[in-house]
């Protein structure tokens, strides 16, 4: 077990609370615990790139009324990349942020960088596949999404994305 003064312990705990919020339909039930764990992870490890990316998740992926703030998320992601420029998850998150901000060429660059660093990044494959599907590149999107699911077969969000990609491709 990790000691209480370890940033990674609290980063992992915050990630688990986020998963519980999303996957168990608990909504706001665990928000306070998640925020407290995230804050403790950042206090103990302000230069921990994993803690910075955990802190970026809610503002990046949540709707505005639930704490979404893409520019704030992007600032955290950028700080993580200054610390570790080769972290593929940070590049994948940055791609999502750029897409949400309408900087589509920059999003593509970031997803390609994530896949260059780790060709088996399920997060980058899923995000890029969804982007391609929305732009009508269905065969490439299906192929990428299948790879993401092979790498992370238990991901409910990847399965959901595969369903709408198949639907969009007329393969249902």
CA angle 160, 49, 75 (to 5 degrees): 80
For 151, the enclosing helix (H) or strand (E) is helix 138-151
pLDDT tens for the 172 residues of the chain, in order = 778 888 888 888 887 777 666 654 446 677 888 888 889 999 999 999 999 999 999 899 888 887 889 999 999 999 999 999 999 999 999 999 999 999 999 999 999 999 999 999 999 999 999 999 999 999 999 999 999 999 998 888 888 899 989 888 887 6
What's the pTM? 0.84
Instruction: Please answer whether residues 101 and 114 qualify as being in contact, where contact means their C-beta atoms are separated by less than 8 angstroms.
Output: no
Q: Distance between alpha carbon 156 and the CA centroid of its chain, in Å?
A: 14
């Amino acid at each position: 077990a990790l000691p209480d003064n370890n940033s990674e312990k609290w980063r992992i705990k915050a990630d688990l609370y986020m998963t519980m919020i999303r996957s168990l339909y608990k909504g706001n039930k665990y928000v306070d615990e998640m925020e407290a764990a995230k804050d403790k992870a950042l206090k103990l490890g302000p230069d921990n790139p994993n803690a910075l990316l955990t802190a970026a998740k809610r503002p990046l992926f949540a709707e505005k009324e639930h704490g979404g703030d893409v520019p704030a998320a992007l600032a955290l992601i950028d700080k993580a990349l200054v610390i570790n420029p080769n972290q593929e998850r940070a590049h994948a998150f940055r791609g999502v942020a750029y897409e949400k901000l309408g900087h589509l060429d920059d999003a593509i660059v970031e997803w390609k960088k994530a896949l260059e660093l780790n060709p088996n990044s399920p997060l980058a494959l899923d995000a890029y596949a969804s982007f391609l599907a929305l732009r009508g590149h269905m065969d490439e999107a299906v192929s990428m999404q299948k790879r993401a699911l092979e790498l992370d077969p238990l991901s409910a969000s990847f399965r959901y994305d595969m369903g709408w990609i198949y639907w969009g491709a007329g393969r249902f």
